[in-house]
Amino acid sequence: MSLSALKTFKNPRAKYNFEGRSCSITGVGSYVPARVVTNADLEKMVDTTDEWITSRTGIRARRVAASDEYTSDLAAHAATRAMQKAGVKPEEIDLIILATITPDMPFPATACIVQQKIGAYRAAAFDIEAACSGFIFGLEIGQQFIMSRTYNTVLVIGAEKLSSIVNWTDRNTCVLFGDGAGAAILQNRPESHGLLTACMGSDGQKADLLSMPGGGSRCPASTQSVAAGLHFLRMDGKETFKNAVQAMHNAAKEVLRRCELDITQIKCIIPHQANLRIINAVSERLGATPEQVFINLDRYGNTSAASVAIALDEAVEGGKIVRGDLVLLVVFGAGLTWGAAVIEW
Ligand code: ACO
């Protein structure tokens, strides 16, 4: 049976043990920087109010990394915690996939810097860039390597220092984002819980809705590009909002369809933590109850690729997800990109 046929199994439990092979999440970990920036702090920086931010987004605070704390540091902390929980030693890791839009630098890959920081010297390491969808893209890529018998232990990380690309004088964007990292260890464990299916999607026709125009080959760094603010994140909030609701709903339906699951069978839904109104709109369309939906964006804001990874770790640590529960992850981000995954914990 081909790998693509895996996606059409009727029984999710049958799928996760395929010819003695399964892709289990054996450990998750997360890390957020110590500094808390509240809405009240932002009121002193830009023309905004706690009332506006809370009612329009649901965000009350976000974490901001220190000036000498980089995406690789956040990622290494989260990875170390995930390895500890999985009982995996650095030398056991075959592959590191790091999802980020805020790498330490354009190259080398931040995954390689993390490799050095955690001592996973045997691993291959690379970055992927799918904005807020990056962690699910990483899970899907990691799953392919596990199921194809190429690797046994894959470390997937979502990590961001968004504070480094946010324009702290632009109230339209600076209130939305935060820093943090989350990580998962994927392993072949036929007797254990597993990643049942994941889907990914993209629409490059809407690439301009969310971008950082400066710093690439199209617009290399120059005094003019800096003066024009091209090295800051830009977003058409309203259009992004509409596209996010539609794409997240479709992605969630797709993975539920593949697993022949009804939304009522899902114990915990972990949506990308960008805006409470987006989360509520997607949940309503899916017919989910508020009790099913995990939310932590009030404390962290939008941490892009780290968002669902941090939330997954917190949901497990907080006892919201226990062994055997079905979990739905659903994401959306720049690109445009989107994705969803079903996990049997
Ligand atoms: N404080 C006070 N007023 C503000 C603020 C603020 N922080 N920000 C914007 N406003 C003002 C605007 O200037 C506008 O004023 P105007 O009517 O006088 O022009 C007014 O509030 C309304 O602005 P809208 O854009 O209509 O506000 P909206 O309700 O759409 O909310 C928001 C804006 C929160 C950005 C929303 O559109 C959103 O969440 N969009 C999606 C973002 C997202 O999901 N991103 C995910 C991907 S991120 C990634 O991939 C990196």
Enumerate domains of the chain plus CATH numbers.
16-191 (3.40.47.10), 196-344 (3.40.47.10)
Is 272 an annotated catalytic residue?
A: yes
Q: Which atom of ligand 1 is nearest to the CA of 171?
A: 7
Amino acid at 207: A
Q: What pLDDT, on the 0 to 100 scale, is given for residue 95?
A: 98
**Ligand 1 atom at shortest distance from the alpha carbon of 233:** 51
**Among this protein's residues, is 152 annotated catalytic?**
no
Residues 23, 17: Cα–Cα separation, whole Å? 8
How remote is the CA of residue 55 from the centroid of ligand 1, in Å? Answer: 11
Does the Cβ of 304 fall within 6 Å of ligand 1?
Answer: yes
**CB of 102 shorter than 6 A to ligand 1:** no
Q: How many CA atoms lie within 13 A of 18 on its CB side?
A: 27
pTM of the model: 0.94
Give the pLDDT confidence score for residue 15 in this predicted structure. Answer: 52
Per residue in 152-203, pLDDT tens? Answer: 999 999 999 999 999 999 999 999 999 999 999 999 987 666 899 999 999 9
Can you give the pLDDT at residue 112?
98
For position 3, what pLDDT does the model report? 36
Q: Report the residue among 240, 300, 307, 337 best suited for mutation to probe ligand 1: largest number of ligand atoms under 8 A from its CB.
A: 240
Cβ neighbourhood burial of 60 (10 Å; 0-12, 13-18, 19+): middle
CA of 176 to the centre of ligand 1 (A): 9
In this prediction, residue 9 carries a pLDDT of 45
Name the burial class of residue 290, with classes exposed (0-12), middle (13-18) and buried (19+) by CB atoms within 10 angstroms of its CB: exposed
Sign of CA dihedral 121, 31, 244, 326: positive
Question: In sequence order, what E strands does 216-261 have?
Answer: 234-235
**Per-residue confidence (pLDDT) for residue 190, from 0 to 100:** 72
pLDDT of residue 130: 98
Which residues have CB under 8 Å from 88's CB, separation 6+? 26, 27, 153, 185, 187
Spatial CA neighbour of 129 closest among 154, 160, 90, 175: 160
CA distances from 59 to 33, 49, 291, 295 (A): 17, 12, 19, 10
- Element spanning 328, H or E: strand 326-333
CA-nearest of 181, 184, 226, 230 to 65 is 181
Q: Which atom, in ligand 1's list, is nearest to the CA of 53? A: 7
Q: Tens digit of pLDDT per residue, the chain (345 long)? A: 333 444 444 445 445 556 667 899 999 999 999 999 999 999 999 999 999 999 999 999 999 999 999 999 999 999 999 999 999 999 999 999 999 999 999 999 999 999 999 999 999 999 999 999 999 999 999 999 999 999 999 999 999 999 999 999 999 999 999 999 999 999 998 766 689 999 999 999 999 999 999 999 999 999 999 999 999 999 999 999 999 999 999 999 999 999 999 999 999 999 999 999 999 999 999 999 999 999 999 999 999 999 999 999 999 999 999 989 999 999 999 999 999 999 999
Cα 92 from Cα 196, distance rounded (Å): 23
Ligand 1 touching residue 168 (CB < 6 A): no
Residue 321 corresponds to which amino acid? I
